């Protein structure tokens, strides 16, 4: 048996969307599971809509998900003369013919057939034509001559359904294989490329099932070995309709920008339509290890952002804070300050990572720390009836901060040291509270508000550590000032 080889062949007419990403993933893990090869091919024969930036986006998005081509990436636009030689062959053997019907005429035919409630197909006007030299100088396309024997059908076994799908030839048009501009169409180029590059298994979207018989005819006419086919169901939007921009982010790059980790997207996408028992959390390596076409679902799946967010928060939680800092910096806008890769930032990131579903959200929660000063909001603060006693507490608390041992506030990247520091702050603070007969519960909120201006914040100890003595005392004073302002 041949070594298994799969491919992902997108057209660079848009950013890589999650449906394509899932197809690429299926191809990649199937090849890898079987010790085979995965290749990428750019189907850029639609010159009108293909753009280089989309191609770059596709490659970069796949690379981000760790999906990398095992061979040089092919471009159909560079293989035009290869296709030509095969067209000649078909023409010579009478398996293809020139068609001079104008687009208007075809349109007319189609309308007529549709009006009669018939399938709009090419009527075969030029099928038996023997054009001379002069005629060939006029605009024409080349069509494949589909065998018309009564009852003739084309079939293939779909590996996902594990079932033969058969389509009668009368349902299939004499489809165009070379356009008027001499560029081959998808159905033609794809067959030649797959055959020539030795693709053994074609895993693609459900939307290609009706193309498959056409392609099989071409494989046979060209004398190529027909590969195996597996058609994966599509991803639908929350309303059960085909996924589109209406459903929010659809491109891989958008998910990256919104703070998703590639592990989460990969895990989500593979579980959308494939399963391994009750396993939910799967690394790429595990997916490759367990992957089997038998476990791919036949039905379409609705994309569910909630579950993706859950997986993303899972992977965020499992990461080292310094790794998170650099991931956040990677996706930060130019206008945003870069996070320092120091233990002060790491302390907060570490406590915030279980509170964030995306990297973007995590970064937002760091705003209070990144900003020079705090904006206090009377509305929020008035929800708590602070009085003179609270102001007095803050004064004492400030003294407590100042009294803290300077050795606690370490620098560098020492996470072990961080644990010790947090423990020291915790112990000192608890002593401070109990000596005065106070509890954490009754004092936490005012401290939180003083440090951040918000009702929600990272834990107090981490904030004391990360802000440091000076910024803590500054904020306490600023808050005290604000409090006296709203009292008057």
Window 353-412: residues binding RNA (CB under 7 A): 354-355
* C-alpha 204 chain-centroid distance: 17
Please select the residue that binds RNA; options are 81, 85, 117, 388, rule is CB under 7 A: 117
Please select the residue that binds RNA; options are 91, 123, 236, 478, rule is CB under 7 A: 236
- What's the closest the beta carbon of residue 408 comes to RNA, in angstroms? 16
Interface mask toward RNA for 136-175; x: CB under 7 A: ---x-x-------------------x-x-x-xx--x-x-x
Positions in 45-84 near RNA (CB under 7 A): 45-46, 49
Interface with RNA includes 90 (CB under 7 A)?
Answer: no
Q: Are strands 141-144 and 153-158 parallel, antiparallel or unpaired?
A: unpaired
SS3 content of the chain, % helix, strand, coil (to 5): 50, 10, 35
| Nearer CB in complex with RNA: 4/269 | 269
**For residues 117 and 115, what is the distance between their CA atoms, to the nearest angstrom?**
5
Yes or no: say if 76 and 82 are a contact pair by the CB < 8 Å rule. Answer: no
Q: What per-residue string of b and e applies to 68-105 under the rule 16 or more CB within 10 Å gives b?
A: ebeeeebebbebeeebeebbeebbeeebbbbbbbeeee
Yes or no: say if 97 and 142 are a contact pair by the CB < 8 Å rule. Answer: yes
- Residues β-bridged to residue 39: 7
| Nearer CB in complex with RNA: 116/333 | 116
**For residues 162 and 230, what is the distance between their CA atoms, to the nearest angstrom?**
9
Please select the residue that binds RNA; options are 149, 240, 379, 437, rule is CB under 7 A: 240
| Nearer CB in complex with RNA: 67/488 | 67
Interface with RNA includes 234 (CB under 7 A)?
Answer: yes
Best CA proximity match to 165, nearest among 224, 211, 221: 211
- Among 64-72, 277-285, 318-326, 398-406, which window interacts with RNA (CB under 7 A)? 277-285
Positions in 446-465 near RNA (CB under 7 A): 448, 455-461
DSSP letters along 201-217, please? EEEEEGGGTTTHHHHHH
Interface with RNA includes 271 (CB under 7 A)?
Answer: yes
- What's the closest the beta carbon of residue 165 comes to RNA, in angstroms? 5
Q: What per-residue string of b and e applies to 359-368 under the rule 16 or more CB within 10 Å gives b?
A: bbbbbebbeb
- What's the closest the beta carbon of residue 115 comes to RNA, in angstroms? 11
- Among 67-75, 330-338, 397-405, 441-449, which window interacts with RNA (CB under 7 A)? 441-449
Interface with RNA includes 237 (CB under 7 A)?
Answer: no
Interface with RNA includes 320 (CB under 7 A)?
Answer: no
382: left (phi over 0), alpha (psi -120 to 50) or beta: alpha
Interface with RNA includes 101 (CB under 7 A)?
Answer: yes
Yes or no: say if 453 and 368 are a contact pair by the CB < 8 Å rule. Answer: yes
- Among 232-240, 368-376, 385-393, 469-477, which window interacts with RNA (CB under 7 A)? 232-240
Please select the residue that binds RNA; options are 253, 288, 370, 445, rule is CB under 7 A: 445
- Among 40-48, 249-257, 385-393, 395-403, which window interacts with RNA (CB under 7 A)? 40-48
| Nearer CB in complex with RNA: 168/285 | 168
Give the phi and the psi of residue 141 in degrees, each rounded to 5.
-120, 175
| Nearer CB in complex with RNA: 37/448 | 448
The two tokens of residue 167 are: 């389509």
- Among 30-38, 202-210, 257-265, 474-482, which window interacts with RNA (CB under 7 A)? 202-210
């Amino acid at each position: 048996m041949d070594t298994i080889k799969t491919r992902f062949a997108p057209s660079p007419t848009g950013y890589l969307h999650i449906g394509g990403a899932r197809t690429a993933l299926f191809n990649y893990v199937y090849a890898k599971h079987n010790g085979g090869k995965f290749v990428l091919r750019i189907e850029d024969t639609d010159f009108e809509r293909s753009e280089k930036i989309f191609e770059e986006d596709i490659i970069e998005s796949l690379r981000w998900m760790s999906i990398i081509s095992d061979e040089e990436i092919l471009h159909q636009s560079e293989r035009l003369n290869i296709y030509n030689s095969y067209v000649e062959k078909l023409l010579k053997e009478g398996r293809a013919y020139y068609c001079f019907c104008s687009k208007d005429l075809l349109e007319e035919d189609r309308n007529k057939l549709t009006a009669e409630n018939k399938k709009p197909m090419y009527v075969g006007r030029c099928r038996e034509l023997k054009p001379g030299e002069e005629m060939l100088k006029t605009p024409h396309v080349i069509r494949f001559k589909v065998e018309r024997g009564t009852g003739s059908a084309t079939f293939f076994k779909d590996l996902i359904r594990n079932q033969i799908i058969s389509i009668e030839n009368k349902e299939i048009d004499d489809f165009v294989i070379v356009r008027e501009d001499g560029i081959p169409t998808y159905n033609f180029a794809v067959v030649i490329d797959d055959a020539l590059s030795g693709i053994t298994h074609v895993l693609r979207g459900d939307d290609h099932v009706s193309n498959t018989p056409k392609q099989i005819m071409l494989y046979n006419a060209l004398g190529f070995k027909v590969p195996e086919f597996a058609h994966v169901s599509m991803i639908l939007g929350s309303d059960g309709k085909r996924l589109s921009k209406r459903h929010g982010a659809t491109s891989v790059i958008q998910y990256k920008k919104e703070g998703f980790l590639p592990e989460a997207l990969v895990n989500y996408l593979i579980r959308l339509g494939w399963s391994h028992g009750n396993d939910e959390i799967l690394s790429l390596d595990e997916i490759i290890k367990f992957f089997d076409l038998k476990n791919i679902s036949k039905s379409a799946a609705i994309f569910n952002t909630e579950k993706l967010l859950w997986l993303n928060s899972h992977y965020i939680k499992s990461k080292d804070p310094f790794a998170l800092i650099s991931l956040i910096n990677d996706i930060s806008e130019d206008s945003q300050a870069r996070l320092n890769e120091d233990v002060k930032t790491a302390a907060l990131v570490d406590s915030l990572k279980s509170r964030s579903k995306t990297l973007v959200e995590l970064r937002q929660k760091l705003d209070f720390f990144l900003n020079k000063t705090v904006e206090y909001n009377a509305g929020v603060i008035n929800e708590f009836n602070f009085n003179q006693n609270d102001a007095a507490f803050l004064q004492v608390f400030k003294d407590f901060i100042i009294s803290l041992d300077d050795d606690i506030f370490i620098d560098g990247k020492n996470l072990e040291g961080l644990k010790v520091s947090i423990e020291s702050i915790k112990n000192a603070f608890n002593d401070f509270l109990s000596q005065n007969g106070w509890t954490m519960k009754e004092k936490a909120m005012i401290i939180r508000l003083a440090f951040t201006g918000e009702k929600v914040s990272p834990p107090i100890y981490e904030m004391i550590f990360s802000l440091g003595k000076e910024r803590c005392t500054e904020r306490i004073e600023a808050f005290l000032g604000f409090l006296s302002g709203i009292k008057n």
